[in-house]
């Protein structure tokens, strides 16, 4: 049974103790795909309610194996004022190519036409290994609200190629593999003119390592690679 009563305290803790002001609700760490549709709606509503005037962004994951359920969750997220929605690839009957994946994403995104949309790329869990670099080609024409990717994979070549070709679109890349998050930031600083909208981190250890991870990001920005490496090692431990 979900415990909605702790979310207010949790929001305050993230902001005051971890300096975290953006959340990804009903994702992998939140076990969203193990919850009922009603439970996911209740959690999304409470995060949006408690995050108002405290959090910068509340991104709600609305992916599901059932297309109608994913569409229902997208409409709900739009109705409660979520900052953005994200969708994982269906992972039982998997899309076999880019066109099939984009078609699924488009059908969900169209149910929330005014809400920024992210693709949640996590092939270690979904088994959907369509490269993000390939996915990005022409995606704005199919999904006008497309803003970027939650990139939870260790294929840093794919990530680097995405960033390298991203000058015109300026998509956002939210990197989600804690163990190599430092390497991903190094890629952004090496390949992008500014971190800004090019990328940030969205890792599950932010819940309790947010402050240290932010110190790592600040060290990269200086740049002070020795200090950044120190914090990456600490976070890994």
Instruction: Indicate which residue of 41, 118, 119, 120 is catalytic.
Output: 120
The structure tokens listed for 170 are: 């300026």
Catalytic entry in 150, 175, 206, 231: 150
Per-residue tokens: 119: 């693709």
Sign of the alpha-carbon dihedral angle for 92, 93, 94, 99: negative
What the block records as the tokens of 150 is 């939650």
Q: Is-catalytic flag, 119?
A: no
Q: Active site includes 107?
A: no
Burial of 16 per CB tally in 10 Å (0-12, 13-18, 19+):
exposed
Cβ-contact 19, 13 below 8 angstroms: no
CB 50 within 8 A of CB 8: yes
Q: How far apart are CA 65 and CA 89, in angstroms?
A: 8
Sign of the CA dihedral running 233, 228, 171, 82: positive
Tokens, residue 88: 């994982």
SS3 of residue 12 by DSSP = helix
Active site residues: 120, 150
């Amino acid at each position: 049974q979900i415990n909605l009563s702790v979310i207010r305290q949790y929001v305050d803790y993230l902001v005051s103790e971890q300096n975290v002001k953006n959340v990804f609700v009903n994702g992998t760490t939140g076990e969203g795909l193990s919850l009922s549709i009603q439970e996911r709606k209740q959690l999304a509503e409470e995060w949006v309610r408690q995050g108002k005037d405290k959090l910068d962004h509340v991104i709600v994951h609305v992916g599901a194996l059932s297309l109608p359920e994913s569409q229902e969750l997208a409409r709900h997220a739009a109705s409660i004022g979520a900052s953005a929605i994200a969708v994982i690839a269906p992972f039982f009957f998997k899309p076999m190519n880019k066109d099939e994946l984009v078609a699924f994403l488009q059908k969900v995104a169209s149910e929330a036409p005014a809400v920024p949309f992210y693709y949640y790329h996590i092939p270690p869990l979904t088994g959907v290994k369509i490269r993000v670099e390939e996915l990005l080609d022409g995606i704005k024409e199919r999904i006008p609200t497309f803003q970027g990717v939650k990139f939870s994979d260790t294929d840093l070549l794919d990530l680097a190629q995405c960033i390298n070709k991203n000058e015109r679109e300026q998509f956002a890349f939210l990197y989600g593999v804690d163990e190599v998050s430092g390497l991903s930031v190094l890629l952004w600083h090496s390949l992008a003119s500014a971190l800004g909208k090019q990328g940030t981190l969205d890792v599950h250890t932010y819940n309790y390592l947010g402050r240290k991870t932010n110190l790592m990001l600040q060290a990269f920005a200086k740049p002070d690679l020795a200090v950044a490496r120190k914090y990456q090692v600490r976070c890994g431990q």
